């Protein structure tokens, strides 16, 4: 008898906690729209004076 009462109380607790689905979330609440930033052409421009800094070479590190 005790195990039936325990099973009933655990089933009732489970039903109270998981008995219904959560509220539906609207698509508008899940999507965030942001304006795109314009492209900066100077960011990707080639700089021959500064291009040597982007390479890692043992000979350059040793000053050879």
Q: Give yes or no for residue 44 having a pLDDT over 60.
A: yes
How remote is the C-alpha of 64 from its chain's centroid?
45
What the block records as the tokens of 10 is 């655990």
Q: Give yes or no for residue 1 having a pLDDT over 60.
A: no
What is the total residue count of the chain?
64
List, in order, residues 6 or more apart from 52 with CB less than 8 Å away. Answer: 60
Q: Give yes or no for residue 52 having a pLDDT over 70.
A: no
Residue 35 confidence class, pLDDT cut points 50, 70, 90: confident
pLDDT for position 19: 85
DSSP classification of residue 53: G
């Amino acid at each position: 008898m005790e195990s039936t009462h325990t099973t009933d109380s655990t089933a009732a607790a489970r039903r109270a906690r998981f008995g219904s689905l959560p509220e539906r979330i609207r698509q508008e609440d899940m999507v965030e729209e942001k304006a795109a930033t314009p492209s900066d052409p100077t960011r990707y421009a080639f700089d021959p004076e500064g291009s040597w800094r982007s390479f890692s070479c043992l000979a350059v590190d040793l000053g050879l």
